[in-house]
Structure 1
């Protein structure tokens, strides 16, 4: 293909991290989850309307029926929030330690294992047909959309039209728009149901339209390749098909941590955190995951999450204290303490984000302390 599945986001995506980014996503940190709040509402734009008229003509010239074109563009609108997101992707990039803490958090592992049980029959069939381990399929699902809970709700035709009109990557996004119209022409979904991320990544495992056309499969046998449905079957099958056709080798590791060990010489050495964190030996399947999303953190995130779902242990290498003098376990304990004290930080995954800093400020204010919003060993001690 001319473009990789995640060329749109050029990073992880993880909706669940992701979105992310996400993906998914998937971890990204680019999230593929986009809300349909005020920033994603359509606004009048005469130039966009004129561009749409031209796009309709180009679509019909490519053989897409007038009926499909009319239905697809009915109600389409210019989304300034999409342009804003596209132009501001240099955002905060998480450290490898934080990324892995999110990708393989206790919650993501426990939910993934629950999904393995819930969809055991389908996943067993997919593994048998495509030769991709069920834990790998579920790990991709977990990073891309947090197991389907963050699939994105932005109208894809509007999002892709906006990005194509904007022009920064106009040719690419118009190619995705035309692919989306072909999907609608086939009857796999409807314009109303074709929703996804701000950049047009769709469904449980965040396929862009061209990748959907190339790899999506109808595993349920209902005549539609439905990756948008609450039923994840077709999406999971499409991911398995993508990895299979990209060269996945069943029964082989994606890689392994080699901290304290010498490389076997069967793969290349990868140091995502430099010399101060885990070291991995990457094998053939590492490169296959890179076909799905070539971000190093994402590849290792999927690989490590799949390992944890199998029952393999956490990473052995330890990271040093952060700039606040806290280790990952310290940060988890601090979050647990804040939650216990009634100051919500969400999941205690050890990753310090806006909710944690806000909770620290609220705790300090409630206790009559100097409000700095800054974590510290002293604060941790007070919360124990």
Structure 2
């Protein structure tokens, strides 16, 4: 989750706190950064953060995190087509693990669904999208000190400085609340935290102590994390018992109006639900979304789709959550698939492809079945070596040629 909040004004220099925190700094410490931290001590104090909390939070934080700045500056050369986004998120593994987690956490999901009215499969899909069901939290290369990350952005990234300052104040307040200690206040390079990846200000607004241990711990408590996600959706208008939307079939050659109208009205102008199923609530309003052109799948999105966008304001994100949730629930996949210029590999075949690329020395990443920039670069290199079109696509043709070798 990445939501911009209000700016926090600069305040007076806290020299005494600066002396406490930085009395004995290593030679490699960044003097400019330390000066910025000292000035921010006053900002934190003016927002109700105690000196003791500030000192604890910044103990050992002596220089910006260069990897945070690298990630902030990085602009991928490859613009992923729509099928690439969904293939890396809605696949056999994410579905199977989601079903396993549904069984494992059923008692808690029963309670959370009953209390907040949010479908459990939606919560499982969000958990998958945000942290791969918590697996990302085990990766020290991904999880970072939230205070250092946000301080780095506030100090050295002009585009994100305003956002980072407000998030840093919120992170310090979380630490001060006692919900988590400074050694476990970790998150992504941009400060998204826990199983369901909440930025600090959103955590403050929605975090829940579901397991009743007195702490709102989205880092270590799956019930807290899932209930927090459910609370966000409920407070933003989630409609219990309703779908996020429906795959539909469009009549050929017809243009459609923009905006929202009832499902029955859409049906009256020739839009039919996939598999010829009826719409359960024909009076509900919906908006047509076609993310891959008229030749790709089409959807009528109801209110819950737009509530999902309050979690992440992107059509692709909200649709991926909805599609993955439906698959976990056993409703089946798309009737009309995405437009791909190649034959799709299964999740296991993608892992096999990565293993071949690794063995041949083209790839040095994880064998995870997810085709990111590293996998695509390796595919391009091996395609060039094989005399194929270097398009970077994880195709049946590439895998077949590698099997032959």
Give the TM-score normalised by the residue count of structure 1. Answer: 0.79
Q: Which residue of 1 aligns with 2:195?
A: 204
Identify which of 115, 129, 137 aligns with 1:143: 129
* Deviation readout 1:201-242 (Å, 9 max, x if unpaired): 00001000000000001111111101111x311111100111
CA gap 1:44/1:274 in 2 versus in 1, 3 angstroms:
farther
> Equivalents in 2 of 1:143, 1:359: separation in Å?
25
Bigger CA radius of gyration: 2
**Residue 214 (structure 1) aligned with residue 233 (structure 2):** no
**Residue 241 (structure 1) aligned with residue 237 (structure 2):** no
Compute the displacement of 1:168 (Å). Answer: 2.4
> Equivalents in 2 of 1:69, 1:274: separation in Å?
51
- Runs of at least 4 residues off by over 6 Å: 331-334, 339-342, 362-365, 371-377
Q: Which residue of 2 aligns with 1:259?
A: 249
CA gap 1:354/1:171 in 2 versus in 1, 3 angstroms:
closer
Q: Which residue of 2 aligns with 1:192?
A: 183
Q: Tell me, yes or no, if the aligned pair for 2:353 and 2:399 is still in contact at 8 Å.
A: no
Give the secondary structure class of the aligned counterpart of 2:182. coil
CA gap 1:89/1:189 in 2 versus in 1, 3 angstroms:
farther
Q: Which residue of 2 aligns with 1:22?
A: none
Q: Which residue of 2 aligns with 1:99?
A: 85
**Residue 346 (structure 1) aligned with residue 331 (structure 2):** no
**Residue 301 (structure 1) aligned with residue 320 (structure 2):** yes
CA gap 1:184/1:257 in 2 versus in 1, 3 angstroms:
same
Compute the displacement of 1:189 (Å). Answer: 0.5
The farther-off stretch of 252-261 and 70-79 is 252-261
Q: Tell me, yes or no, if the aligned pair for 1:255 and 1:283 is still in contact at 8 Å.
A: yes
Compute the displacement of 1:66 (Å). Answer: 1.3
> Equivalents in 2 of 1:116, 1:332: separation in Å?
21
Q: Tell me, yes or no, if the aligned pair for 1:104 and 1:301 is still in contact at 8 Å.
A: yes
> Equivalents in 2 of 1:201, 1:380: separation in Å?
36
Alignment of 1:272-287 (within 5 A): 272-287=291-306
The farther-off stretch of 106-115 and 165-174 is 165-174
> Equivalents in 2 of 1:142, 1:271: separation in Å?
24
Q: Which residue of 2 aligns with 1:6?
A: 2
Q: Tell me, yes or no, if the aligned pair for 1:160 and 1:174 is still in contact at 8 Å.
A: yes
> Equivalents in 2 of 1:233, 1:334: separation in Å?
34
Q: Which residue of 1 aligns with 2:168?
A: 177
Q: Which residue of 2 aligns with 1:327?
A: 343
Compute the displacement of 1:358 (Å). Answer: 3.0
Alignment of 1:81-160 (within 5 A): 81-89=67-75, 92-151=78-137, 152-160=142-150
Give the secondary structure class of the aligned counterpart of 2:300. strand
Give the secondary structure class of the aligned counterpart of 2:294. helix
CA gap 1:269/1:79 in 2 versus in 1, 3 angstroms:
same
Give the secondary structure class of the aligned counterpart of 1:198. coil
Q: Mark the runs of 5 or more structure 2 residues left unpaired by the alignment.
A: 5-26, 251-269, 273-281, 360-365
Q: Which residue of 1 aligns with 2:19?
A: none
Compute the displacement of 1:348 (Å). Answer: 5.0
Aligned length: 338
Q: Tell me, yes or no, if the aligned pair for 1:258 and 1:280 is still in contact at 8 Å.
A: yes
Q: Tell me, yes or no, if the aligned pair for 1:109 and 1:308 is still in contact at 8 Å.
A: yes
* Deviation readout 1:235-275 (Å, 9 max, x if unpaired): 11100111111111111110111025616683010011122
> Equivalents in 2 of 1:111, 1:43: separation in Å?
44
Give the secondary structure class of the aligned counterpart of 1:103. coil
> Equivalents in 2 of 1:342, 1:162: separation in Å?
36
